[in-house]
Chains A and B, each alone.
Chain A
Amino acid sequence: MASITRRGLLIGGAIATGAALTGLAVGFGYLSTIDVEGLRPTPPEGDQPVRLNAWIEVLQDGRVRLAAPHTELGQGIHTGLAMLVAEELEVPLERIIVEHPVKPLPVYANFVLALEKRPEEMTGAFDWAGRRLIGAMQLIATGGSTATVRNYVPLRQAGAVARDLLQRAGAAQLGVAPSEVKAEAGAIVDPRSGRRLDYGALATAAALLDPHAVPPLKPRAQWAVIGRDAPRLDIPSKVDGAARFAIDHRLPGLLHATVVRPLRFDGTIESVDAAAATAMPGVVKVLPMDGTVGVIAETSFQAMQAAERLAIRFGGGDQPGVSSVKILDAMRAAVNDREPGHVFSDRGDVDVALTDDATFEATYETPYLAHATLEPQSAMALVEGESIKFWSGAQSPMPMMQAARAVGRTAETHVTLAGGGFGRRIEGAVLQQAARLAASVPGRPVMVMWRREDDLRWGPFRPAAVARLRAAIGKNAKPRALKAVVATQSVLSGYSSRNMPFTVGGASDRGNVEGLAELSYDIPNLLVAAKHVDTPVPVGFWRSVGHSNTAFFVESFIDELAHRAGADPLRYRMDLLDKDARLRHLCKALGEAAQWSGPGSGNGRGRGVAIHASFRSYVGQVVDVAVTPEKAVKVERIVAVIDCGQAINPQQVRAQLEGAIVFALSAAMAGEIIIENGAVTNSNFHDYPMAAMKDVPAIETVIIDSAEPPGGVGEPGTPPLFPALANALFAATAERVRTLPLSRHGYRFA
């Protein structure tokens, strides 16, 4: 039952990419030179900021600059990481400046994403080598809701080690023993004399000391920062227009570009007549690239207008008739055929149980979905000699490095604020285009921005999926066996084909069934299998990835079983969670927070519940709806409970829950990328609509108090909303929706 995980992909990809391009001889001797701790100071130079370790720099005025190798996509991660440092460094949060580092040091690599373990769990020889290998490959990335998990211990350690240096330097200057001074609000203080020395004045001396072993971290009871609501450091700049996203960067001589591509996924560009376009005012260059045509002009609007005037003869199209309808037909056929598929979970004997007992089965379907980040795909690039500089809100600098190599140059990577990410910005296409276009006008910076229509049509998309679930009902109306077969299109296959030197995934991609294969419910006989339906449609990572599909399948199905059993849907779930104390407790807390008293008695009003574990966290939601006979839906109330272990910044955990819920609400109601004749028919927000102010109720959030190590919070709020909403609609109308979006069944927001 070997399966491919993101971990396998990333390690494999790193090895293949790194080994192929740098010819590394990966041996013990080499690996032992890779610094994955980053705790040593750099000798100070003049009045430059003093680098106490790879993470922390002290400025002369006492402010601290934190190198945060994670992209601020809106999830508040820069503030959360600063809080971890502030706690141990004893510096006020508002004196920390957070920047994504330009230099891709090995210590910044996302070991958690690659090795699928917490840093504190990485102990053996494999982990020792794995960390150094991942570090050597500079696998810096933001995704999989891992940034807090990745940094929870290491950044506090970095803060503690830096504080210890400052404390020793301060004690020496004050002429007392280090144990006699304390660190307090950005200064070293001698409590007896009352004398204090600011970090800014001590940093140079501190950086000349040797770091000792990592001091013990503060116990939770002494925390003054972690676990308390903190205002985000980036928010003031996001209310007055000062925040700079990729498209807001300006350099002297800046040119603007956009890109044209065949509408059909299998299309090609046969020829380009650029005469009309190049004659337009401001147009600098038309550049045919691999499968696309770039247009460079003085302004964005000129580039967009010129793109409309290109006379392009498109070719290809040898896979006529690819459509989302036919793809779903193929997925339906796949879940019904006799091929076993790739088996991920197989316990007990499902087939015997399904023969013996009363059975129930249902088939669920989900559509392709777009990320629709409000800032479209964008990047600025500047070629100067052998170097190429990038500015982009990318979820990783790695695609910048790859794009630079493709034009024979070395990258300087500037990861900017991003106008939304949701998994979309882990892809490199716009960076490759920026590199090609900038290389055609050396010395001139080029800003590439896709038009909204292109951003929506070109994908990659969250894959469609069909799932057939069959249960054998045992005594107490509980499921004794569950057989689940999911047919979908592997995200890893899509991602690796575009971004790696090889393609892996297919049916064995664990993402196909994540959230289903590791089902928490206590069902003695379980079989979970996946089938990969290959299509020309590009698919990629979309907020919560496979969980966005599997939560809808499982939590709709459990709701159906509860209804058939005549049981309360929340109670029914709790009775299946004897072996999962955390989820059981979550259900209890959810029931209390929502004042749960059942799904209601119908007549156009109903309540739905769903729970789901993903990204090391647990989320439960209760949704109340009112539905008119004309199927106008008013979502009246949403209650969400999360157990994410230790919450770092609770108000931002709430913000992520709220955002993840609204993200799913848009998708559940009307989110559907429609493909006809090999191309996407949606074009803009009128036919790929978003939930608006009027559609979103107050969202009540509860964070379960926990001292467990933190889980992710960016994604886990998204999966449960789909089934909770569908279950609420069933309670209100007795119509069981098994196919998303709801708009397919005539529902719309009131």
Chain B
Amino acid sequence: MADDPQTPLLWVLRDRLNLTGTKYGCGAGLCGACTVLVDKTRAERSCQLRLADVSGADITTIEGLAAAVEVAAQLQQAWIAEQVPQCGYCQSGMIAAATALLIASPRPSDGEIDEQITNICRCGTYPRIRRAIHRAAGTLAGKGAANG
């Protein structure tokens, strides 16, 4: 990797690896458009992670999220079922954030969703995002029950 270790992960993903599903929105960790899944557990804002910070870490971007994490695949289906995206620009980050939420809390309350999903959607798709998270959580719980 030719980049300076101080380069934010966001730009390594976008400009070196051509993983353009992860978006730039603010560069200051405020909007969440650049959210990625780290070590298949945590949602992190990649504009705030330096290349040096993620040495040895497992980074999953939207392009590989559904294949890597069952929760994400269900979230994507729920996103389609609830017709969530409008412009769609924030949605990669939203789905990454929702994936981490469901990994940590498989049946989140509205309060948990409010607390954990702090990304900005300028188109205002929040009510549909909330429904989609509940839908995916319900589907996963049903699968869990069926499998168990």
**Contact surface of A with B, Cβ cutoff 8 Å:** 73-76, 231-232, 234-245, 247-248, 250, 256, 281, 298-301, 304, 372-376, 417-421, 449, 451-452, 651-652, 655, 658-663, 665, 684-686, 690-694, 696-699
Contacts and interface: CB of A to CB of B under 8 A. Distances in A.
13 contacts: A76-B86, A234-B85, A243-B88, A245-B89, A248-B20, A248-B21, A376-B24, A652-B83, A658-B128, A662-B124, A662-B126, A690-B122, A699-B127
Given A417-B87, A417-B88, A301 B76 contact: no
Interface string B2-44: 0110011001001110111111111110110100000000000
Contacts of B119: 692-693
Contacts of A241: 19-22, 61-63, 92
A373 B24 CA distance: 12
Given A250-B20, A420-B123, A658-B128, A239 B85 contact: yes
B118 interface: yes
Contacts of A652: 83
Contacts of A686: 28, 30
Interface in B71-92: 76, 79-80, 83-92
B89 A420 contact: yes
A238 B88 CA distance: 5
* CB-CB nearest 5 A-B residue pairs: A241-B21, A662-B124, A74-B87, A238-B88, A419-B89
A698 B95 CA distance: 20
Nearest to A243: B88
Nearest to B22: A241
Contacts of B18: 250
Contacts of A301: 7-8, 11, 15
A451 B28 CA distance: 11
Contact of A374 (B20, B23, B129): B23
Contacts of A237: 88
A568 B130 CA distance: 34
A247 B87 contact: no
B122 A420 contact: yes
Contacts of A250: 18, 20
Contacts of A299: 3, 7, 11, 15-16
A659 B129 CA distance: 12
B114 interface: yes
Contacts of B14: 300
B24 A300 contact: yes
B66 interface: yes
Nearest to B8: A301
Contact of A452 (B8, B22, B26): B26
Nearest to B77: A239
A231 B80 contact: yes
Interface of B: 3-4, 7-8, 11, 14-16, 18-28, 30-31, 33, 61-63, 65-66, 76, 79-80, 83-92, 95, 113-115, 117-130
B89 to A, nearest CB: 3
Nearest to B21: A241
A725 to B, nearest CB: 14
Q: Which of B11, B23, B89, B95 has the most CB of A within 10 A?
A: B89
B16 A419 contact: no
B94 to A, nearest CB: 9
Contact of A236 (B22, B80, B115): B80
Contacts of B123: 74, 420, 659, 662-663
A694 B18 CA distance: 33
Q: Which of B15, B31, B80, B129 has the most CB of A within 10 A?
A: B15
Contacts of A247: 20, 23-24
Interface of B is mostly: loop
A684 B26 contact: yes
A658 B124 contact: yes
A693 B113 contact: yes
Contacts of B30: 684-686
A418 B62 CA distance: 19
A298 B113 CA distance: 39
Q: Which of A421, A659, A660 has the most CB of B within 10 A?
A: A659
Nearest to A660: B124
Q: Which of A238, A250, A372, A449 has the most CB of B within 10 A?
A: A238
Contacts of B11: 299-301
A157 B114 CA distance: 47
A75 B22 CA distance: 22
A281 B130 CA distance: 44
A696 B122 contact: no
Contacts of B128: 655, 658
A118 B22 CA distance: 41
Nearest to B133: A693
A652 B86 CA distance: 9
A681 B83 CA distance: 37
Q: Which of A248, A651, A652, A661 has the most CB of B within 10 A?
A: A248
Q: Which of B80, B86, B117, B120 has the most CB of A within 10 A?
A: B86
A660 B114 CA distance: 20
Contact of A418 (B83, B87, B117): B87
B83 A651 contact: yes
Contact of B83 (A232, A417, A665): A232
A239 B124 contact: no
Contacts of A256: 15
Contacts of A373: 87, 122
Given A685-B31, A692-B126, A693-B130, A240 B21 contact: yes
Given A238-B85, A241-B61, A247-B24, A694 B115 contact: yes
A447 B38 CA distance: 29
Nearest to B76: A239
Contact of B28 (A243, A685, A696): A685
B124 A452 contact: no
Contact of A238 (B24, B91, B130): B91
B51 to A, nearest CB: 10
Nearest to B129: A693
B120 to A, nearest CB: 5
A216 B117 CA distance: 51
Contact of B88 (A234, A651, A658, A659): A234
Nearest to A690: B120
A332 B30 CA distance: 35
Contacts of B4: 281
Contacts of A75: 86
B126 A696 contact: yes
B126 A693 contact: yes
Contacts of B61: 241
Contacts of A234: 85, 88
Contact of A242 (B8, B21, B23, B24): B21
Contacts of B19: 241
